[in-house]
Structure 1
Amino acid sequence: YGRLLKAVRENDMVAASLGKSVPQARAQVMFIGSAIAAIAGVFFVTNLGFASANDYAVAFTLDIWVMIVLGGLGNMRGAVLGALIVTVLDRVTQVMAIQLDMMGSQFEFNYVRFIVFGVILLLMLRYRPQGLLPEPLETTRAHAHLAEAGD
């Protein structure tokens, strides 16, 4: 199933020409992703005790985007690394904002994190779109002779 999803992601016309149902695969992925998001929402509301529209701000989406792009697409370790880096940067920028506010600065430093995350997102998309830990290349037994021939 994973190879089908990779084929649909990379070139859906090739996947369709190999007899795979691209719309069905996309619908299944949408269903699975929606189910996971619903379960995560249940855990989130259970943890908070209530749900409010203010809990789902654009900043929350930006954080998740930066985590995934920074860590690397298609790699669970990359997502964890991205989450760790974003969480640390978030805490550091919060501490900086508090300290600079205590010093009497006129600038609103609560928005520094948005600037930092936006710059990181732009730089990663421009210079390293595969992320810090890119998706590992698979070498199957069928392609092993090609890898040996290149050496």
Structure 2
Amino acid sequence: MTTFQFTLRLDRELSEAEEDAIEAGVPEVHSIEGGLGSTDAHVAIDTDSFADAVTAVVWKIEATGQRVVGLELADLVTLDEIAARVGQDTELVRARATDVDAGFPATSGPAEWGLYPWPAVSAWFRERFPGQQFELDQQGAVADLVLRARSLADIDHRARWARLLTV
């Protein structure tokens, strides 16, 4: 299993009672932030695939009566998240990050936070491993587009549009 971390965007700012309902019914949501007309639900979930992770949490959030309209992957990532994004074992990524001669990007903020800037990390991997694919980034982009598209589609037409994904 892999721990996937992402943020789901909800279509509006939630009341305190609505936030409480999500926190009670969706244990994978570890924090909720509202503002500027929308709400972000920050998620961490252990599953076998990113698609399963997103689908499971979207269903749970929408079961509380809310509407998910987008997805975002973090720009600051842990070593576990880096491993998931590059498709490598966490210990291998940790060894690369701690090898002083490897030139791995430094943490962003205090070292004890263990957060690395994803743009610098992905550039480091691309330079050393030409052709490196970042499947999770691609899947995140697809998930965001699908969530945005379904938020625009009339509920009566969603099933028709969903067929397009299987063509």
Structure 1 length-normalised TM: 0.28
**Greater helix percent: which structure?**
1
Structure number with bigger Rg: 1
Structure 2 length-normalised TM: 0.26
**Greater strand percent: which structure?**
2
